[in-house]
């Protein structure tokens, strides 16, 4: 009896379709630039792309520009890390103890309903012009959204895998490392992605009201002096930073964490 396994040949990728999908974002950018170039002359306020490009090159050559960007990124990272850590600990407590679940549930619901602008103003009134207010604003606002996402992940944990880990006498660290974390990883990534986008909005809003350095403060300065061209430049810089983190950090990290999915799909 022939027991030789037959491997199916892999179908080569359709590079034309791959390149088309990769090029779609650039097609959208080209359309926006074309509409902007043709339509700015019909308005009294929209600057032409050449003016914006000139201001962008001027700001790129100024060291203060990078100081503003670094300040905003620092506030984002510290505030998001604090909110994520607090949310993870609260989610764990709500998971393992019913009393803690009932204790934290009203606070999570209330923090979900409070307007982000109100939180930023409260932080400004309490902490003044210090950066602590930015950290607190970001942490408080992203906290409930992360808790909700993590609670959904904890609720979907496979009880049979937990029983298996208990039967094989896994240590608490082994249960977390080899059972809980692999199941929770999609929810952790989802919570991080959503809270990251929300945190950027909070950082910029808070900087508009309370900071003298940062991307939000530059928005306010451009608005005060009615420099629409520089306002557009700072919006572009903001988008570049956001996309750089998305494609330079999140996407490679996600591909590395979920590489087993691609290996399984290629089998």
pTM: 0.78
Q: What are phi and psi of 150, to 5 degrees?
A: -70, -35
Rounded Cα distance between 188 and 67, Å, is 31
CA atoms within 13 A on the CB side of 262: 6
Rounded Cα distance between 211 and 194, Å, is 25
The 8-class DSSP code of residue 41 comes to: G
Instruction: State the Cα angle at 39 between 218 and 57, rounded to 5°.
Output: 40
For residue 190, what are the contacts with CB-CB under 8 A and spacing of at least 6? 149
Which of 229, 225, 205 minimizes the C-alpha distance to 217? 205
Which of 211, 218, 209 minimizes the C-alpha distance to 121? 209
Domain extents in the chain: 66-265
Rounded Cα distance between 230 and 235, Å, is 9
Which of 149, 144, 132 minimizes the C-alpha distance to 79? 132
Location of structure tokens 């979900």:
112
Rounded Cα distance between 108 and 141, Å, is 10
Burial class (CB in 10 A: 0-12, 13-18, 19+), 43: exposed
Burial class (CB in 10 A: 0-12, 13-18, 19+), 100: middle
pLDDT tens sequence for the chain (267 residues):
455 544 555 555 555 555 566 666 677 778 888 888 888 778 877 888 888 889 899 999 889 999 999 999 999 999 999 998 998 888 888 877 788 888 888 888 888 888 888 888 888 888 887 889 899 999 999 999 888 888 887 777 666 777 777 777 777 677 766 676 777 777 888 888 888 888 998 999 899 888 889 999 999 998 888 888 899 899 999 989 988 888 888 888 877 877 766 555 555
- SS3 of residue 226 by DSSP: coil
Cα distances from 221 to residues 47, 59, 62, 184, 207, in angstroms, run 17, 14, 16, 43, 11
For domain 66-265, give the fold.
MetI-like fold (1.10.3720)
């Amino acid at each position: 009896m022939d027991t030789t396994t037959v491997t199916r040949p892999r179908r080569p990728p359709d590079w034309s379709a791959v390149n088309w999908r990769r090029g779609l974002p650039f097609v959208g950018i080209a359309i926006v630039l074309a509409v902007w170039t043709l339509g700015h002359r019909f308005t009294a306020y929209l600057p032409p792309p050449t003016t914006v490009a000139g201001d962008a090159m001027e700001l790129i050559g100024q060291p203060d520009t990078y100081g503003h960007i670094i300040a905003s990124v620092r506030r984002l990272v510290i505030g998001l890390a604090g909110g994520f850590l607090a949310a993870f600990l609260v989610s764990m407590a709500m998971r393992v103890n019913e009393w803690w679940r009932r204790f934290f549930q009203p606070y999570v619901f209330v923090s979900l309903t409070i307007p982000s602008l109100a939180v930023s103003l409260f932080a400004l009134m309490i902490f003044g012009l210090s950066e602590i207010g930015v950290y607190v604003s970001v942490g408080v606002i992203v906290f409930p959204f992360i808790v909700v996402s993590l609670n959904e992940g904890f609720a979907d944990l496979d009880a049979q895998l937990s029983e298996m880990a208990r039967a094989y006498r896994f240590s608490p660290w082994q249960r977390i490392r080899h059972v809980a974390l692999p199941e929770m990883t999609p929810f952790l990534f989802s919570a991080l992605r959503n809270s990251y986008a929300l945190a950027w909005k909070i950082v910029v809003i808070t900087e508009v009201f309370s900071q003298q350095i940062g991307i939000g403060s530059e928005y306010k300065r451009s608005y005060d002096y009615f420099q629409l061209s520089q306002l557009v430049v700072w919006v572009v810089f903001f988008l570049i930073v956001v996309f750089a983190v998305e494609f330079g950090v999140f996407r490679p990290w996600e591909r590395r964490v979920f590489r087993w999915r691609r290996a399984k799909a290629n089998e």
